[in-house]
Amino acid sequence: MDALIKPLRAGKAADDKSSALETKGTDLRVPEGRPAQLDPSDYLEAAVRPDQPRPSRDEAEQAVKTLLSYIGENTGREGLLDTPRRVVEAFDELFQGYQQCPTEVLNRTFGETAGYDDFVLVRDIPFTSHCEHHMMPFYGHAHIAYVPVERVVGLSKLARLVDIFGHRLQTQEHLTAQLAAAIDEVLKPRGVAVMIEAEHTCMSVRGVRKHGASTLTTRFTGIFRDNHAEQARFMSVVRGPQR
């Protein structure tokens, strides 16, 4: 995982982008985007409420035994005797993000930035998540940038945020949107850019079985959404030769 803070750059003010995007009398300014249609509980709170009813561990282990029987296995054979317990313990680890609160991760910020006003990029954050359609893993890297206003968050907190949302069931598109929305809502930056590149085992080891195919998703808010030049700069740095 690379943590990259871009240097301050001298250039035209952001307000100049309008004239730069007008060519031969044609207005090419980027239209104002619609706000994200996400439930705040998706990206601000732990997904499991303390009063939410849940099956017991014994019931969860019995469900695993039922699935083993469904595929034709003998759940009484030696190699499978402890499998239900192991699977439930693995679920506790793989889906721990349901118990964790994204807001708490982002709430601690630092004000000693010396007036820094360019974007901060944390690149190549590795993650593994699980698709909500088949409960099969998808994995890859997340790249997150934001333009701070006076205060910045610890770089490890962005990686931690990826871990929280990654350890829940969802689609890659939803994961991308959640990351951008959480940073935008809690940090109130001038803009957020998120790119995720991932391989999905639900299409690489089953179904069409296209091993190596990758999916790329992006989400932009604020200055990254409204200014194509900033989008392009973000993409260029993420894809740059220094990787």
Q: Which of 73, 141, 197, 202 is catalytic?
A: 202
Rounded to a whole number of angstroms, the CA Rg of the chain reads 22
Taking the domain 2-24+101-238, which CATH number applies?
A: 3.30.1130.10
From 130, 174, 200, 230, active-site residue? 200
pLDDT of residue 4 exceeding 90, the answer is no
Predicted confidence band of residue 3 (pLDDT cuts 50, 70, 90): low
Every domain of the chain with CATH number 3.30.1130.10 lies at: 2-24+101-238
Identify the CA nearest to 9 among candidates 195, 147, 162: 147
- Whether 172 sits among the annotated catalytic residues: the reply is yes
140's CB contacts (< 8 A; 6+ apart) are 126, 127, 196, 197, 198, 199, 214
Residue from 22, 89, 133, 150 carrying the catalytic annotation: 133
What is the per-residue pLDDT for 112? 86
Is it the case that residue 11 has pLDDT exceeding 90?
no
Confidence category of residue 88, pLDDT binned at 50, 70, 90 = very high
Structure tokens belonging to residue 145: 């940038």
The one catalytic residue in 22, 132, 150, 173 is 132
Among 61, 131, 143, 230, the active-site one is 131
133 given a catalytic annotation: yes
143 assigned to active site:
no
Is position 131 annotated as part of the catalytic site? yes
Residue 15 has pLDDT above 50, yes or no: no
Give 87's pLDDT tier (boundaries 50, 70, 90). very high
Is residue 37 among the annotated active site residues? no
pLDDT of residue 243: 55
Residue scoring higher pLDDT (21 or 237): 237
Q: How confident is the model over 148-200, as pLDDT tens digits? A: 998 999 999 999 999 999 999 999 999 999 999 999 999 999 999 999 999 99
Distance separating alpha carbons of residues 128 and 164, to the nearest angstrom:
11
Q: Would you say residue 36 has pLDDT above 90?
A: no
Active site residue 101: no
Name the token pair of 236: 């260029």
Q: What is the pTM of this model?
A: 0.82
Read off the pLDDT of each residue in 216-221 and give the average, rounded to a whole number.
Answer: 97
Catalytic pick from 100, 170, 172, 178?
172
What is the band of 119 on the pLDDT scale with cuts at 50, 70, 90? very high
